[in-house]
């Protein structure tokens, strides 16, 4: 049996479409427009997260969140204060 490797710099959307739809997409649709950051900020935040040593398989090791959800919220903050 082959060993499955952990993607250290991948977001859930890049690794597992089923889990992304079940977890992240569901949460993103629940965020109201008033509470959601603009697409530009969202992409900038995800870019920073992808280069962070605390990102493992779409999860922030500092706080345990899915970064794609935290990055989408206006009030979302990086626990390491990178954004």
Would residue 77 count as lying in a domain?
no
Domain for residue 59, yes or no? yes
Number of structural domains, the chain?
A: 1
Q: Classify residue 3: in a domain, yes or no.
A: no
Q: Which tens digits make up the pLDDT trace of 32-58?
A: 999 999 999 999 999 999 999 999 989
Residue numbers of the domain that contains 64: 12-70
If you write DSSP's letter for every residue of 42-62 in order, what string do you get? HHHHHHHHHT-TTEETTEETT
Q: Are 66 and 59 in contact (CB under 8 A)?
A: yes
Residue 6 lies in a domain: no
**Is the full-model pTM beyond 0.85?**
no
Q: To the nearest whole number, what is the mean pLDDT of the chain?
A: 89
The reply to whether 80 falls in a domain is no
At residue 1, the pLDDT reads 52
29 is a domain residue? yes
């Amino acid at each position: 049996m082959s060993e499955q490797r952990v993607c250290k710099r991948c977001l859930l959307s890049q690794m597992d479409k089923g889990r992304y739809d079940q977890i992240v997409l569901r949460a993103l649709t629940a965020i109201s427009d008033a509470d959601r950051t603009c697409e530009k900020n969202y992409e900038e935040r995800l870019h920073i997260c992808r280069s962070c040593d605390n990102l493992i398989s779409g999860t922030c090791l500092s706080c345990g969140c899915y970064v794609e959800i935290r990055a989408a919220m206006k009030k979302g903050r990086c626990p390491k204060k990178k954004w």
